[in-house]
């Protein structure tokens, strides 16, 4: 295989997170992580304003970054 063949075949390989590229996946993961850390820092009164139970907020904050609802992704 030539270098040109290797490059062209790499572009045809489907990615597990398609249509996202690696940069988009990293940015999405950082965004999810940041949002969950912010959720974890909210006090009970603020969570109540949002209609979220403190235990529910803690469960969500402990989830891994790849466990995010589709709606959170761009």
Q: pLDDT tens for residues 12-61?
A: 444 444 566 888 888 888 999 999 999 999 999 999 999 999 999 999 99
DSSP element (H, E) containing 51:
none
| Cα separation, 12 vs 33, whole angstroms | 31
Q: Kindly report, residue by residue over 13-25, the tens digit of the pLDDT.
A: 444 445 668 888 8
pTM score: 0.63
pLDDT at 68: 82
The answer to whether 44 and 54 have CB atoms below 8 angstroms apart is yes
pLDDT at 71: 72
73 or 2, which is more confident: 73
Q: Per the structure block, which two tokens stand in for 10?
A: 């790499």
pLDDT at 24: 85
């Amino acid at each position: 295989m030539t270098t040109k063949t290797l490059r062209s075949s790499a572009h045809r390989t489907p990615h597990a997170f398609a249509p996202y590229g690696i940069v988009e996946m990293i940015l999405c993961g950082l965004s999810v992580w940041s949002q969950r850390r912010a959720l974890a820092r909210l006090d009970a009164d603020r969570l109540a304003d949002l209609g979220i139970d403190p235990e529910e907020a803690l469960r969500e904050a402990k989830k891994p970054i790849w466990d995010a609802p589709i709606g959170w992704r761009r």
